[in-house]
Structure 1
Amino acid sequence: MSSHLDYTSPTTQYFFDVNKSLFFKKDNQNLINILGAQQLNTLENVSLLDIFLSVENVVEPHYHQNAAELVYCISGSAIVSLLNPFTKKLLSFSITPGQVVNIPRAWWHYEIATVDNTHLLAIFDAPTPEVILGSDILKFTPSDIIAHTYCIDEELWKQATSPVQPSTYIGPYKDCHKRYPYPEHSPHAFFPQP
């Protein structure tokens, strides 16, 4: 039991409806609900994201600086990819109902739905998951620093990143009609052909 919680207080909460705690919504098939200590005050070192995705939608590349994450597939299927910072290798795992992927704290990762009606549960070992998003890194790092650091043309960088919207969370954007042509040997070669 935690010493900072007063379990006799009338404000102590033991129940919460996660369906009423929208965190991000792209559309009715692609959304994320959240449960953390702000929603349920008796939570200590656990929180979760309830993720719904349709085919080809991706929880954008990101990392959680304060928590490890366990991604559990409830329905549908998804590819969970994570970059091992020690080996510099991208690890990709296809998960279906009942399967999990463990993502250590601060590892770069993303999830892509391979079928419609994919439902994932992301469980964290922190009372509130903190996040650093790829879209925010791309949008808020000054273009002159990127150009100088990586020896690239600053105008080309600005052009390439101009469509990026901060805090994307679920991509691609609604108005994006581009498809990435995944090579046959890629772990992402699961999308149906047009």
Structure 2
Amino acid sequence: MAISYMDYTSPSTQFTYDLSKNNFFTKDDRNLINVLSINQLSTLGNTSLLDIYLSKGNVIEPHTHQNATELVYCISGAATVSIVNPFTQELLNFPIQPGQVANVPQGWWHYEVATEDNTHLLAIFDAPIPEFIPGSDLLRLTPANVLAHTYCLDEAKVKEALAPIAKTVVIGPPADCKKPSTRPYNEPAYARQPQPEYAQQRGLNQNPYAQEYGYQHRVPSYYPQAQPVSGNGYTPY
């Protein structure tokens, strides 16, 4: 905890708070996020949290927290926490159920997907106020011509693809989304099937959809609880 110079004898000192009074984002009555920071609870110190409610298939959009590590704890339902490791350049997928956690190091690109209805997650941060850089803002605020030139893309197609992203998404798909998904939320965008000997050497474990889609993801040996559970696995877009 950071050194505190607070006057704990002051009558204005706060020791309790109702999170339902401080909503960060609401998509609908089953998909919402409440936040608690030092702005709401003066004695909180160097910690904060998000109280997250999701229904199946809803996604906390890809994002980073530039000022904090995030510990995601599953209270009810089930979700998959997906992290891009910038050092190994691997996408790691961690299915969690009640009582299980997944940790996201500070500044790492990640997202969470509910794989059951009535999913309730608690995201705990080691900072008094969690900062948030959403992927939707990076996409909509970067000029299409820059993206097209940088990655050798068709500028018109980039503009068309990104045009619907008119504001920060937070929980996707957006409530006004009319376009049907071209594949289930649990189906990967591509099939990547390492050779058996490679998979064994790298510690790759198949998720529940691996046989059907020919896709595998890595579950590191240092995270023994992160084993896909039948019917609850999720393979990202």
Aligned position for 1:43: 44
Q: Please give the per-residue CA displacement for 1:2-57, whole angstroms capped at 9, x wherever unaligned.
A: 33211111111001001211110000000000000111111111000000000000
The answer to whether 1:66 aligns with 2:67 is yes
Matches for 1:53-92 after TM superposition, within 5 Å: 53-92=54-93
Q: TM-score, normalised by structure 1?
A: 0.93
Q: TM-score, normalised by structure 2?
A: 0.77
* Structure 1 ranges of 4+ moved more than 6 A: none
1:180–1:89 distance in 2 versus 1, CA, 3 Å: farther
Q: Please give the per-residue CA displacement for 1:106-143, whole angstroms capped at 9, x wherever unaligned.
A: 00000000010000000000000001000000000111
Aligned position for 2:145: 144
Matches for 1:176-191 after TM superposition, within 5 Å: 176=177, 177-181=179-183, 182-183=187-188, 184-185=209-210, 186=215, 190=233
Corresponding residue pairs, total:
191
Whole-angstrom CA distance in 2 between matches of 1:23 and 1:174: 16
Q: Please give the per-residue CA displacement for 1:57-101, whole angstroms capped at 9, x wherever unaligned.
A: 000000000000000000000011000000110000110000000
Structure 1: runs of 5 or more not aligned: none
Amino acid at match of 2:37: G
1:52–1:80 distance in 2 versus 1, CA, 3 Å: same
Aligned position for 1:34: 35
- Counterpart of 1:137 in 2: which secondary structure? helix
Amino acid at match of 1:86: F
Aligned position for 1:156: 157
Calculate the aligned-residue CA RMSD, in Å. 1.7
Whole-angstrom CA distance in 1 between matches of 2:175 and 2:122: 23
Whole-angstrom CA distance in 2 between matches of 1:137 and 1:156: 17
Whole-angstrom CA distance in 2 between matches of 1:115 and 1:180: 21
Whole-angstrom CA distance in 1 between matches of 2:98 and 2:55: 15
The answer to whether 1:171 aligns with 2:172 is yes
Whole-angstrom CA distance in 1 between matches of 2:41 and 2:154: 48
Higher RCO, 1 vs 2 (CA within 8 Å, ≥6 residues apart)? 1
Amino acid at match of 2:19: V
Deviation for aligned residue 1:150? 1.1
Whole-angstrom CA distance in 1 between matches of 2:180 and 2:86: 30
- Of residues 85-94 and 179-188 in structure 1, the stretch that sits farther from structure 2 once superposed is 179-188
Whole-angstrom CA distance in 2 between matches of 1:178 and 1:105: 34
- Counterpart of 1:19 in 2: which secondary structure? helix
Whole-angstrom CA distance in 2 between matches of 1:65 and 1:104: 10
Structure 2: runs of 5 or more not aligned: 189-208, 218-227
Aligned position for 1:20: 21
Amino-acid identity (%): 58
1:180–1:78 distance in 2 versus 1, CA, 3 Å: farther
